[in-house]
């Protein structure tokens, strides 16, 4: 992807945070970092909003599901796709995540060779129109 | 000392004396009437007994007795009367008309004798003679009650249940067998039941309790049925002590709650274990990947070789975790199969297309042999594919030259039509000893070339479990040096 985009990365595990931000930065993207859902929400609300949010699900303080609910209630963040990168990858987890209203799902362990292109594909697809809306 | 015969007779005779007007208004109510019926004189005098002690269904009988006495001078009946506390007594009633000397009736003298216990003895005699053997042979406690609510018969099971000595229940009001708090309601229930006799099954109705002589309670189930005798209707009550059943029900309920909790805990544990094992693997596999992608900078040959080892170790660990979680889920009964009609051939061709490059990359021939066309299965597509992939991957892994063939055929076993998807290879084969433990977890085929083949050692174990879950099985035939055939067998349809 030729144009650099601003990606908000929300992840509490330092090693995974470093890995994902490294991959995204190596691909030329600008990465904003938050270590839990609450920080992520605060950062997302600062002008200008990020182009994409990549978030872990299980986090202290505020988890990914709750952060998504707040984001979806915020009109200024309406167009920002949010994708989940999670170690919840047993059968049924992907459905659960998509039903919660995420725009994409990548399971951990990630495949480093293809991770960036997966993220970019979700970015290109934008907000998911089909499927049920996020729980109120 | 002069004896007041009149006073003595009126107040101390055991029978109740009542003086009524010809219209039925009570003019005198003796002390023994007070003690039999519970009403004192000033509650009764000036009123009609029809409004006080005559049960509704006995009103006509009372009226016709009065008419008869007024017309003929005398009448006598045996009937039921209700006391102030609601209990019923059998009374023998005789009425005599006293005239005013000009041929007009002036008073009715009514004498009421309480024959409740006599009636019990009569009913008891009748029941004993006709039914006692039968009732004694019943496993339940049996109690017979007459219209006054008195027990006329109790079998020894009932006596034991309520802790009474032999014969001591006879004559008691049946309410004596109920806890105090249920008695009031019971008198009304009992009257209602006598008014509308029908057989009622055990256990219908409310939670009931019995009262033992020592005051302790126990839960009971009661069945009621009317028994017609020449001397009136009795009610048979079959009583079952359900203490033990209640205890078992409670224990079962507690066990179920416990099991549900344990199950939920197991689910949470599996989900957490999956999550927690994958999280560190993400860093291991991820950073190995970035290094091998040479994102941070170039690698020398040794570094690259060693990093490939880390990478494949990480991949292996991930496969192990996936397989172990799959097995745990099957064993916990958490695998939900989505059963749908499948066309075998299509699924087999899909799987073959995925794995053909691996076989041909090793220089192996790869073929599909369709013996029977249009074989249909109703099963879970994902599980079916997963097993087939496992069998084909194994065949490719253990075959150095020759071919891997997937064969699709119908197999008849007795009356059963089965679909058999077999995977045949021309690999090293499996010795008898290894065949025995092939499906056990972490079993490895004894190496000939000096090294074990790669893999988790869980693939066949998992496939066999999954096949069993789908109502099928995996069979194997092999000859060392010639090759092996693994077959997934599922019911057709």
- Given 3.30.565.10, 3.40.50.720, 3.30.470.20, 3.40.50.2300, which CATH number is that of B339-491? 3.30.565.10
CA-wise closest residue to A116 among A43, A45, A54: A54
Helix (H) or strand (E) holding B465: helix B459-469
- pLDDT for residue A1: 47
SS3 A126: coil
pLDDT along chain A (136 residues), means of 10: 78 93 92 92 88 92 91 87 89 84 91 92 79 44
B247-331 folds as: Helix Hairpins (1.10.287)
Question: What was the pLDDT predicted at A134?
Answer: 42
Q: Do B286 and A112 touch (CB under 8 A)?
A: yes
Q: Using CA atoms, how far apart are residues A44 and A53, in angstroms rounded to an integer?
A: 8
DSSP H/E element including B125: helix B116-136
* Residue B297 touches chain A, beta carbons under 8 Å: no
Residues of A in contact with B325 (CB under 8 A): 90
Inter-chain residue contact B283 with A15, CB threshold 8 Å: yes
Instruction: Decide if A117 touches B, using CB distance below 8 A.
Output: no
B114, β-bridge pairs: B91
Q: What residues contact residue B228 under an 8 Å CB cut-off, 6+ apart? A: none
Decide if B118-241 and B247-331 have a common fold: no
Q: Is A89 on the interface with B (CB under 8 A)?
A: yes
Tokens of A72: 């979806």
Q: Which residue of B has its CA nearest to A92?
A: B336
Q: What is the pLDDT of residue B312?
A: 87
C-beta of residue B370 within 8 angstroms of C-beta of residue B335: no
- Angle (CA) B281-B287-B293 rounded to 5° is 135
Q: Which fold has domain B5-114?
A: Beta-Lactamase (3.30.450)
Residue B193's pLDDT is 73
B279 contact A CB<8A: yes
pLDDT of residue B326: 82
Burial code (b: 16+ CB inside 10 Å, e: under 16) for B255-265 equals eeeeeeeeeee
Counting residues of chain A whose pLDDT is more than 70, the rounded percentage is: 91
B402: nearest Cα among B460, B310, B484: B484
- Domain edges within chain B: 5-114, 118-241, 247-331, 339-491
Cα angle vertex A75, ends A72, A77, to 5°?
65
| A87/B275 CB distance under 8 A | yes
Contact assessment for residue B451 and residue B372, using Cβ atoms and an 8 Å cutoff: no
Locate B338 and state its tokens: 């989505």
Name the strands in the sheet holding B151-154, side by side, starting at the edge strand that comes first in the sequence: B151-154, B141-145, B232-241, B217-229, B208-211
Looking at domain A6-125, its CATH architecture is 3-Layer(aba) Sandwich (3.40)
How far is Cα B354 from Cα A15, in angstroms, rounded to an integer? 34
Residues of chain B found within 8 Å of residue A20, distances taken between Cβ atoms: 286
Selected residue of B266, B275, B314 to mutate for chain A interface (largest A Cβ count, 10 A)? B275
Give the C-alpha separation, B70 to B140, whole Å.
Answer: 51
Q: Are A52 and A17 in contact (CB under 8 A)?
A: no
Query: If you measure CA to CA, which chain B residue comes closest to A116?
Result: B290
pLDDT for B204: 60
Indicate the residue of A58, A87, A112 with minimum beta-carbon distance to B290: A112
Q: What's B118-241's CATH class?
A: alpha beta
- pLDDT of A31: 93
What residue segments make up the domains of chain A, in order of their start? Answer: 6-125
**DSSP secondary structure string for all residues of A74-102:** -GGGTT--EEEEES--STTHHHHHHHTT-
Residue of A23, A88, A109 lying closest to B318 (CB–CB)? A109
**Out of B274, B283, B287, closest to residue A90 by CB:** B274
CB contact under 8 A, A26 and B276: no
- Residues B303, B316: Cα–Cα separation, whole Å: 20
Average pLDDT by stretches of 10, chain B with 493 residues: 76 88 92 92 91 89 92 92 89 92 89 93 90 90 92 94 93 90 74 70 70 93 86 88 92 92 84 88 93 92 92 87 83 80 86 88 89 83 89 90 90 86 89 82 66 72 88 89 90 83
Q: In the prediction, which pLDDT does B156 show?
A: 93
- Please tell me the predicted confidence (pLDDT) of residue B144: 94
**Who's near B439: CB < 8 A, 6+ residues apart?**
B460, B461, B464, B474
Yes or no: say if B147 and B232 are a contact pair by the CB < 8 Å rule. yes
């Amino acid at each position: 992807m030729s144009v650099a985009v601003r990606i908000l990365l929300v992840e509490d595990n330092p090693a995974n945070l470093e890995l994902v931000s490294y991959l995204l930065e190596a691909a030329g993207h600008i990465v904003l970092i938050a270590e839990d859902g609450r920080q992520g929400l605060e950062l997302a609300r600062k002008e200008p909003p990020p182009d994409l949010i990549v978030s872990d699900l299980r986090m202290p303080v505020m988890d990914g599901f709750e952060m998504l609910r707040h984001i979806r209630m915020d009109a200024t963040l309406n167009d920002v796709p949010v994708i989940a990168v999670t170690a919840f990858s047993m059968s049924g987890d992907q459905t659960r995540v998509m039903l919660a209203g995420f725009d994409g799902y990548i399971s951990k362990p990630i495949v480093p060779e293809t991770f960036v292109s997966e993220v970019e594909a979700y970015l290109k697809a934008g907000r998911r129109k089909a499927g049920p809306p996020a729980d109120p | 000392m002069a004896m007041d015969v009149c006073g003595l007779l009126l107040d101390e005779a055991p029978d109740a004396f009542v003086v009524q007007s010809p219209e039925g208004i009570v003019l005198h109510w003796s002390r023994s009437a007070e003690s039999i019926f519970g009403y004192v004189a000033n509650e009764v005098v000036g009123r009609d007994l029809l409004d006080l002690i005559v049960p509704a269904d006995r009103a006509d009988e009372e009226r016709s007795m009065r008419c008869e006495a007024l017309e003929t001078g005398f009448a006598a009946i045996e009937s039921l009367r209700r006391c102030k506390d609601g209990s019923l007594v059998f009374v023998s009633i005789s009425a005599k008309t006293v005239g005013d000397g000009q041929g007009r009736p002036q008073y009715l003298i009514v004498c009421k004798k309480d024959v409740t216990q006599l009636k019990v003895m009569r009913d008891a005699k009748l029941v004993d003679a006709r039914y006692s053997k039968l009732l004694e042979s019943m496993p339940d406690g049996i109690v017979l009650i007459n219209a006054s609510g008195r027990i006329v018969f109790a079998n020894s099971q009932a006596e034991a249940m309520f802790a009474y000595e032999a014969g001591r229940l006879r004559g008691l009001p049946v309410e004596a067998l109920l806890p105090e708090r249920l008695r009031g309601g019971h008198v009304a229930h009992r009257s209602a039941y006598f008014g509308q006799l029908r057989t009622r099954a055990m256990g219908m109705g409310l939670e009931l309790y019995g009262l033992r002589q020592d005051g302790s309670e126990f839960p009971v189930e009661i069945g009621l049925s009317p028994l017609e005798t020449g001397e009136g209707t009795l009610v048979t009550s079959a009583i079952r002590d359900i203490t033990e059943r209640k205890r078992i029900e409670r224990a079962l309920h507690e066990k179920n709650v416990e099991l549900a909790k344990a199950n939920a805990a197991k689910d949470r544990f599996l989900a957490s274990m999956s999550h927690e094992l994958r999280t560190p693997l993400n860093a291991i596999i991820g950073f190995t990947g970035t290094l091998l992608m040479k994102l941070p900078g170039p690698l020398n040959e040794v570094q690259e070789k060693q990093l490939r080892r880390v990478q494949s170790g990480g991949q292996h660990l991930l496969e192990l975790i996936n397989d172990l979680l799959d097995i745990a889920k099957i064993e916990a009964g958490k695998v939900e199969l989505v059963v749908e009609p499948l066309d075998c051939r299509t699924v087999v061709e899909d799987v073959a297309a995925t794995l053909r490059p691996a076989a041909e990359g090793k220089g192996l021939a790869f073929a599909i042999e369709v013996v029977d066309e249009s074989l249909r299965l109703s099963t879970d597509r994902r599980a079916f594919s997963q097993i087939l992939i496992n069998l084909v991957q194994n065949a490719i892994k253990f075959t150095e030259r020759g071919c891997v063939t997937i064969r699709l055929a119908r197999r008849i076993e007795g009356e059963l039509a089965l679909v058999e998807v077999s995977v045949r290879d021309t690999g090293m084969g499996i010795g008898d000893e290894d065949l025995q433990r092939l499906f056990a977890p972490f079993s490895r085929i004894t190496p000939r070339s000096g090294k074990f083949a790669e893999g988790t050692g869980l693939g066949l174990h998992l496939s066999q479990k999954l096949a069993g879950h789908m109502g099928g099985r995996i069979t194997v035939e092999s000859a060392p040096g010639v090759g092996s055939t693994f077959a997934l067998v599922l019911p057709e349809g």
